[in-house]
Chains A and B, each alone.
Chain A
Amino acid sequence: MPASDPDPERARGAGETGVSLRREGSAVVLTARGEFDVLTTPQLQAAVREALHDQNPPDVLVIDLTAVRFFASIALSALAEARQAAGEHTTLRLAVEHSLDRTLRLVGLDQQFALYSSAAEALAAEET
């Protein structure tokens, strides 16, 4: 039977993976950094819930993924869930770098989201 190391987070320095939320006027910016696999995507899901289930849901939720270096299918599913949860009340915008932009296009999810190249650009975008 192969050996098993119980702590892959430590092996990888998962301190680099994390999520944070900040208010920007009537918008909320969710910044995600690092690697989102089956172990870490629950952090992203929890932050989305926190952002949207506020007593005053934001007009705009920007999910800044420009500092993400690994994004598994479970994390793509989390984005699709965020879109559903945002509903009509909150406009969801994503800031993505090259790899994630390409992945979203490869699986045909790019049409489901408003994509920008930075959080600042997403915040400045006109209401559509």
Chain B
Amino acid sequence: MSPAANRVAAANFDLRAHRLARTHDVALMRYALADWIRAHGLTGDLAHDVELATYEALINTANHAYPAGVVGTVELHAHHQHDLIRITVTDHGRWEPPAADPGRLRGRGLNLIRALADHTILAPTDVGTTVTMTWYLTLPETLGTS
């Protein structure tokens, strides 16, 4: 396949990644997302906001989803259709209550996610937590597949 055809084919694919919820692993997930963002032709503020908000959701999982000494996993799913981008970050732990977190990182990270995404849902359940972030596109951003 030619490089251009590869790029168009890549733009059709969702990104799915599943790694250990550790700072080094979530850094690699961010790099994979940055590549996915580029492959989809996303640029400017939108590209910046998707990468930053997703990293904040991933790092929250690494820092807060699992008790000390337990290394759980985190899943990233990035989806792009003609009018929106939807990113979900899922862990299988339980975010520690804010009282257990003396630092300001978690609060600042969540505030940042909410400020950067058009719509954010934080859904804790008995088996984990899912953060869903959506950006609504006003113009076509993909190369198209026709």
- Does A99 belong to the interface (CB within 8 Å)? yes
Q: What's the tally of chain A residues with a CB closer than 8 Å to chain B?
A: 26
Structural contact, A106 and B115, CB atoms closer than 8 A:
yes
Structural contact, A38 and B23, CB atoms closer than 8 A:
yes
Structural contact, A6 and B24, CB atoms closer than 8 A:
yes
- Does A70 belong to the interface (CB within 8 Å)? yes
Which one of A1, A5, A37, A74 contacts B30 once the chains associate, using CB atoms below 8 Å? A37
Interface members, chain B 66-113 (any A CB < 8 Å): 73, 103-105, 108-109, 111-112
What residue in chain A is nearest B55 (Cβ atoms)?
A72
- How far is B51's CA from A77's CA once the two chains are assembled, in angstroms? 18
Chain B residues lying within 8 Å of A74, measured Cβ to Cβ, are 59, 105
- How far is B110's CA from A107's CA once the two chains are assembled, in angstroms? 10
- Does A43 belong to the interface (CB within 8 Å)? no
Interface residues of A (CB under 8 A from B): 1-8, 11-12, 37-39, 70-74, 76-77, 80, 99, 102-103, 106-107
Interface residues of B (CB under 8 A from A): 17-20, 22-25, 27-28, 30-31, 45, 48, 51-52, 55-56, 59, 62, 73, 103-105, 108-109, 111-112, 115-116
